[in-house]
Amino acid sequence: MSSSATDIVSLRSARETLFVGPLSAFPVQARRVLLRDRLSLRDALAAFLSRPGAEERVRRFLRRWGIDTAAVRAAGRGELAEVLARAAGSGVIAVALAADPVVAFSKMTEDLDARMAQEGTADDFPGRLRVVVRLVPAHLEGTVRQEFEALAAGDERALLAGLAAMTLPGVSLSILGSSLFTVPGSILEAIDRLGEVLEAVRRMPSDAPLPELAEAAAGSLAVLLREGVLRRLVDARFAVKGMPAAGRFGKPVR
């Protein structure tokens, strides 16, 4: 039986959303946020199954996921979490966890897909941003340069869309999925500076000094690359694409 996003159950807490369903139902990009450690799987499942109505909802999907419902009919919440953790470990199902800001970020910026898919010219933002991204490596060194080139080579469109999203109001901090008070000042400063450069790229005319902007962007990008933030930005852009939107207590918003 084929699987689709409708086979994925979303369970929401105050800060995060847990997605559970057949591995084949998850978009390839979303697999970047799958939980793989057995202990992490069990703890996350146990916590989310304690939400009102969550356990009952999950049980209704067990048969569709290929899990023996008779074997877990009398199982308590902890035992059910263990069964699901084992199923995830063996690849029968998959479990992904995403902070709510990441979910909101991914949904909010879906319209950037089409824009970044266009090849673009120096007369529009996607084209200018593409030029800047391709000039940045010249201003990076060592492993930082290698990481940036790997991101661009792996999915340049994802990198462009993620960077473009940083020009949207209120989005830059959402990519971190963290509290403002726990993020190092150097990262916040780099995000602010990069946002200003990207806004300049967006607003400037076709004769904008793109090499200079690329050099300015590289300084901030180096910080975000060293701290792993840029990869999180790219991953977050597509982390939950195609998954059902999550409502309170596991009720999906349709």
pTM: 0.61
Confidence label for 246 from pLDDT (cuts 50, 70 and 90)? very low
Number of neighbours of residue 185 by Cβ within 10 angstroms: 7
Q: Which amino acid is present at 24?
A: S
**Spatial distance between the Cα atoms of 11 and 55, rounded to a whole number of angstroms:** 10
pLDDT in tens, 102-126: 676 666 666 666 666 665 555 688 8
* 19-40 pLDDT, tens digit each: 999 988 887 766 767 888 989 9
Integer angstrom CA distances of residue 205 from 110, 127, 202: 25, 12, 8
